[in-house]
């Protein structure tokens, strides 16, 4: 276990180094190696229709291996339904063409206080077990001269949620996207979710939730952070 801990601590963004950990060594340890979602170089060689067809065939094999009878009326359409769910819904955020255009406007009202969009729905999937992550995101920023349409913040959260995720990475991705769109460092994101891999397997804990946060710019100042957390009704720890 000590040797594994040393390996995990030594992980870098270098894919060649990360590949030295075997599946057996990683086990149930949650490893996130990069702020970018790890994608293959050929990730977009297949069309959506080709991906659906291939996933359906593979999922059919899983069902058959489990001993299910796919000639049954209730089951025969399941492989394609699952494939369409993966490609068109659950993991739609893997497609860069689906990335929302972050339209920004001049801050003509000279509103210089923080703006917060809270209780944004999160529906994602954990990349370790492909089970749902469900909860809320709270997003805040202080304008440096630009403002963003309120719905765009929801769409940015949704886009990065719709992919196999690690909550820490998701939090960072949302912050970085807003920083780029608004040309400001003053961004904060807090995410509070329940992970179905915790509630439905292993420890089967139905009460706990996972909270991650990322504070940038002025939000790293204690008084600004307290104000933000006060608005979203969370205590500063």
Q: Which residues are catalytic?
A: 126-129, 167, 195, 197
Q: 180 - beta bridge partners?
A: none
Q: Outline where DSSP puts E strands in 55-170.
A: 104-106, 114-126, 132-142, 146-148, 164-165
DSSP 86-115: IIIIITGGG-GGGPPP--EEE-TT---SEE
Those residues whose C-beta lies under 8 Å from the C-beta of residue 75, and which sit 6 or more positions away, are 63, 68, 69
Please choose, from the candidates 162, 195, 160, 194, the residue with its C-alpha nearest in 3D space to the C-alpha of residue 175: 160
- Residues 230, 114: contact at Cβ < 8 Å? no
- Residues 147, 113: contact at Cβ < 8 Å? no
Q: Which tokens sit at 58? A: 């593979």
d(CA 141, CA 118): 12
d(CA 63, CA 75): 9
């Amino acid at each position: 276990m000590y040797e594994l801990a040393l390996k995990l601590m030594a992980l870098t963004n270098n894919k060649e180094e990360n590949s030295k950990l075997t599946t057996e060594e990683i086990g149930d340890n949650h490893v996130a190696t990069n702020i970018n979602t790890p994608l293959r170089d050929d990730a977009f060689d297949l069309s959506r229709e080709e991906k659906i067809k291939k996933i359906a065939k593979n999922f059919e094999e899983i069902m058959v291996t489990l001993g299910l009878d796919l000639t049954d009326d209730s089951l025969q359409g399941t492989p394609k339904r699952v494939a369409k769910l993966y490609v068109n819904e659950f993991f739609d955020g893997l497609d860069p063409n689906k990335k929302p255009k972050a339209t920004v406007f001049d801050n003509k009202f000279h509103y210089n206080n923080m703006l917060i969009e809270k209780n944004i729905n999160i529906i994602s999937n954990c990349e370790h077990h492909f089970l749902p992550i469900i909860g809320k995101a709270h997003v805040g920023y202080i304008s440096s001269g630009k403002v963003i349409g309120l719905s765009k913040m929801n769409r940015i959260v949704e886009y990065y949620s719709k992919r196999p995720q690690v909550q820490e990475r998701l939090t960072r991705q949302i912050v970085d996207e807003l920083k780029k769109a608004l040309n400001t460092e003053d961004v904060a994101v807090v995410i509070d979710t329940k992970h179905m891999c915790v509630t439905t397997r292993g420890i089967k804990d139905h009460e706990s939730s996972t909270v991650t946060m990322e504070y940038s710019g002025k939000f790293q100042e204690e008084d600004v952070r307290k104000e933000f957390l006060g608005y979203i009704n969370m205590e500063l720890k």
